[in-house]
Amino acid sequence: MTVRRVVVDHVLFVVADLDASRGLYTAALAPLGYEELYPQDDCVSYGAEELDDFTICRGEPVTTAAHVAFSAEGRDAVDAFFAAAVANGATVRGEPGVWTQYSERYYAAFVNDLHQNNVEGRVARARAGRRRASPSRRPLIRTVQGTFANARAPQGSPSTRAEQKHRACGDTQQSKTGKRNLSRDGSAT
């Protein structure tokens, strides 16, 4: 059995308006099974089972242009994450659906938070021959670094999955508004 080592222990985003960001993240992460843990005057941490893996804190300079992906148990959770995020101030980056440039089973949705960070909800699917981690052992956050470390190029592919992830994280085109939107085939719109 392959054991996946967690590459990043936790992530912290610095935000300008803690109340607005808290509203967005609390609503968006709830359908994924994550709750507020350890709220303080200037920070709120999120996680499950008392493990705070993601934190937002008021301060300067704010975190911008980062990418963080949160694991979901199913497609309905990803859809609810997306709806709640958009209803609470996030902008659409990529609507819920299968993102075939990653895999035929990669179901995800992408939003930009209040500081244009790319926030993703995704279904964690086990690959053939691998056991799926129990909910208490699955990572809350699947980071770009973790994805790169575990990516393998498909046979005969001109680009690696890591390069595809790079493109999807916004390292390609920008629209005239400066915001990057994605289509499910990986092209920037």
Q: What is the pLDDT of residue 149?
A: 28
Instruction: Answer yes or no: is 5 within a domain.
Output: no
Instruction: Answer yes or no: is 186 within a domain.
Output: no
Instruction: Answer yes or no: is 149 within a domain.
Output: yes
Instruction: Answer yes or no: is 118 within a domain.
Output: yes
Q: Is the peptide bond before 61 cis (omega within 30 degrees of 0)?
A: yes
At 108, phi and psi to the nearest 5? -155, 165
CB 25 within 8 A of CB 40: no
Instruction: Answer yes or no: is 184 within a domain.
Output: no
**Strands across the sheet containing 43-48:** 11-15, 51-58, 43-48, 35-37
Q: What is the pLDDT of residue 50?
A: 87
Residue among 67, 66, 51 at smallest CA distance from 138: 51
Instruction: Answer yes or no: is 131 within a domain.
Output: no
CATH label of the domain that carries residue 76: 3.10.180.10
- In the chain, which stretches have pLDDT less than 70? 125-189
Instruction: Answer yes or no: is 102 within a domain.
Output: yes
60-89 residue pLDDT tens? 999 999 999 999 999 999 999 999 999 999
Q: What is the pLDDT of residue 125?
A: 67
Instruction: Answer yes or no: is 2 within a domain.
Output: no
* Count: domains in the chain: 1
* Domain, as residue range, for 65: 11-125+138-168
Dist. CA 179–CA 161, nearest whole Å: 23
CA 141 to chain CA centroid, nearest Å = 7
